[in-house]
Amino acid sequence: MADELLDEIKKVAEKIPGCLYASLVGYDGISVAQHVIHTNYDVNAYDAEISSIMLTAKEVRDNLALSRTSELIWLTEDAFFIICPIGEDYFIYTCLKASGSNPGAARIVLNKARQRIHRIIYQES
C-alpha cells in the first residue's frame, strides 16, 4: 500500500504545472507520502501546519452544520495551496508557485487522485 501511495503522490506532483510538491497527510499532521519537485520549505513542517488548518476547517464546518468539505484553497504571496480531504482521516494537497502555476489543472489532477487514493487507503475495489 505504501508504494502505491507514493506512486500516486509522485504522479500528482509531476502532472501539475508549477507544482513545488505534493503531500498526503493524516489529520494528525503526520506525512504519509510526499513528492518534492523543488522547494526550500520544510515539507514535514508544512504538512503539520496544513493539518491544523484542516482541523480548524472541520471544526467550523461542524459548528455551522455545513456539509462535507470538498476542497480548501489558500493563496499566499509565496505559494498556492490546494487541499482535498480524503475520507475523515487524510487529505492530499499540492503547493504551487504563486505565479506561473496552473491551479485549474491542479484541481482536476487532485480530484482524480483523491478517488484513487481513497480506494487504496480504504481498500475499496
Say what the pLDDT of residue 123 is.
Answer: 87
Backbone angles phi, psi at 106, to 5 degrees: -60, -40
> For the domain that residue 72 is a member of, what is the CATH number?
3.30.450.30
Place of cell 476547517: 57
What is the CA 15 to chain-centroid distance, rounded? 14
Q: What percent of the chain has pLDDT over 90?
A: 83
Number of compact structural domains in the chain: 1
Domain range for 28: 2-121
CA-CA distance, 102 to 49, in Å (whole number)? 23
In this structure, are residues 9 and 22 in contact, taking their beta carbons and an 8 Å threshold?
A: yes
For residue range 62-98, what is the model confidence (pLDDT) as tens digits?
A: 999 999 889 999 999 999 999 999 998 999 999 999 8
pTM to 2 decimal places: 0.92
In this structure, are residues 21 and 13 in contact, taking their beta carbons and an 8 Å threshold?
A: yes
Side-chain-side CA neighbours of 98 within 13 Å: the count stands at: 6
